[in-house]
Chain A
């Protein structure tokens, strides 16, 4: 049966229309990824709006292509500019830029692009095996578990996406949950925070919020005067590159595994996957001192780790309807927009979809590898485009992308308003990813909390007596306790180790 689904997915991708869509999407993703300031989340959010009226197959293919391309494309500016095109490539710059400075920029881009492709392909294997397992586990979930899963997702995302200040991550998550409550409530149809406004009663569409949160701050940042100095691109030594990749097969497998596991954790992005893989490679290396000075292993570890997050981040979407990262959250919204229902019932309702996503991911990684190397000859030219010329055009795309969802100007205003929210969040050092996760998980938390309390006649006891609930409750309590400094003795030791590892 699985083979039949795989063949069907391969058939879908073999059409000329799909091939052209994929090449264009991956190309767009790589260009967005390499341009500092344009993130993968923004690219996927923008394209979700723009592909709203195309067929679901083509829309999802193009979104996966953009996602893979954008996460990988960031390595090129990290290597040539020392400015990661996306946060996911921050770890790549540690050794990629020194390699570029030593005249090995071409080799570094070859290693990074190849490691990205291998990481993505590895994550496809995990996707195919772990999604059914996690789905069968998720079928045991009731309303109590789903509510705690939403809370757990936001707390862990807040914890890990906040750059060492979980309190701010949690606040952002709570604000996102509150934004999702605007409009008629799902059970009784009572208007909340609508102030008698018909547009507000319909609630906020997810796409304008996402475009505003992630796109607007980048557009505004381009208004500042700054000019980047771009390095020179050197010839790629393919033979040497293949030799280095073969020598580092263990690093690729380890980083892929780390990336997938990080990707599965709700809301934790590809940047964490890249950093953790880099850190693990450095910790295990016999030549630790060479890291940060142009060690190819550092580039390979960071890139295979961050790209493996893509497959990992899709696993909880398909099995639990909880996204693993910010771009994956946008991807999940796109699935919904196109009538697909990710979650525990997906394997029974649309069992072939998992294989379609897997084939799309695998095809995207091949195209990304070929295009990434081809584009690298022109990277220097692309990076020289002035952000003051580029960003106003991107803003036009943001407006069109927000408008086409419902053909109403209100959504453009929502994009603008949430753009300010994103701007203030980034200015005041609050992470945006937990906010977005809150907006996505809000309806799930709201309806499941009230349904659970109705089933238990208002008692909260099942939250502590059901085994899965107890598991989530214990982890949530431990996270709060850690934030209150109850484990400070252990965490300070760990921080010392980490800071010794990553500089």
Chain B
């Protein structure tokens, strides 16, 4: 048993556990699809999902065994937990920037687009994310926002006649 974790093994261990849980869900859903179709297995729409589920199960088990071979299991589990904590608690300033940036992308897609016209939602999004990332000086941020949104509207809406979100 090692006292330290092999690089990459905690990621593999975590992936294998998630994939195994997903495989259980896959088999359960495939059963429902097969019952719904009410046809023999060789033409069933659940045939490929079951086949793929079996392959995924096998691959995940190999990944799981490989990731914990020669490792201290509790250290491995601890490493996975600390990685997840890093993601969700955003203890590191870089993770904070990443999570904040993703939150702004989500805000644009799920809130701004359904409410506002393209020019307004896109301008608000760009201004917000540039300011959050401290991307450039204020005048540059405003110029890039106007240029990008205006350019997209002229190119796609006016020239290509495309409907914008």
A473 at the interface (CB under 8 A from B): no
Determine whether the beta carbon of A392 is less than 8 Å from that of B156: no
Which of B40, B63, B126 makes the CB contact (< 8 A) with A171?
Answer: B63
Taking CB as reference atom, which chain B residue is nearest A451?
A: B43
List residues of A (379-437) whose CB comes within 8 Å of B's CBs.
386, 388-389, 392-393, 395-397, 399-400, 403-404, 407, 409, 412-413, 416, 427-430
Question: In the complex, A265→B98 CA distance in Å?
Answer: 36
Contacts of A427 in B (CB 8 A): 11
Determine whether the beta carbon of A174 is less than 8 Å from that of B165: no
Contacts of B45 in A (CB 8 A): 185, 187-188, 190, 192, 446, 450
Contacts of B114 in A (CB 8 A): 409
List residues of B (146-165) whose CB comes within 8 Å of A's CBs.
148-149, 152, 156, 160-165
Q: Mark A209-222, 1 if CB is under 8 A from B, else 0.
A: 00000000001100
Determine whether the beta carbon of A399 is less than 8 Å from that of B48: no
CB distance from B55 to the nearest CB of A (A): 5
Determine whether the beta carbon of A409 is less than 8 Å from that of B48: no
Contacts of B41 in A (CB 8 A): 458
Q: Mark A367-382, 1 if CB is under 8 A from B, else 0.
A: 0000000000000000
A54 at the interface (CB under 8 A from B): yes
Question: Given A396-B122, A397-B152, do A170 and B59 touch, yes or no (CB 8 Å)?
Answer: yes
Which of B42, B130, B165 makes the CB contact (< 8 A) with A389?
Answer: B130
Taking CB as reference atom, which chain B residue is nearest A398?
A: B105
Taking CB as reference atom, which chain B residue is nearest A195?
A: B29
Question: In the complex, A403→B113 CA distance in Å?
Answer: 11
Which of A171, A225, A396, A457 makes the CB contact (< 8 A) with B59?
Answer: A171
Which of A50, A177, A185, A223 makes the CB contact (< 8 A) with B156?
Answer: A50
Taking CB as reference atom, which chain A residue is nearest B160?
A: A53
CB distance from A484 to the nearest CB of B (A): 9
A340 at the interface (CB under 8 A from B): no
B1 at the interface (CB under 8 A from A): no
CB distance from B27 to the nearest CB of A (A): 12
Which of A188, A224, A454 makes the CB contact (< 8 A) with B42?
Answer: A454
Q: Which chain A residues have a beta carbon within 8 Å of chain B's beta carbons? A: 50, 52-54, 167-168, 170-171, 174-175, 177-178, 181, 185, 187-188, 190-193, 219-220, 223-225, 386, 388-389, 392-393, 395-397, 399-400, 403-404, 407, 409, 412-413, 416, 427-430, 442, 445-446, 449-450, 453-454, 457-458
**6 sampled A-B residue pairs with Cβ under 8 A:** A177-B48, A178-B49, A190-B36, A225-B97, A397-B152, A400-B162
Q: Which chain B residues have a beta carbon within 8 Å of chain A's beta carbons? A: 8, 11-12, 14-15, 19, 26, 29, 33, 36-37, 39-49, 51-52, 55-56, 59-60, 62-63, 66, 94, 97-98, 100-102, 105-106, 108-110, 113-114, 122, 125-126, 129-130, 133-136, 140, 144, 148-149, 152, 156, 160-165
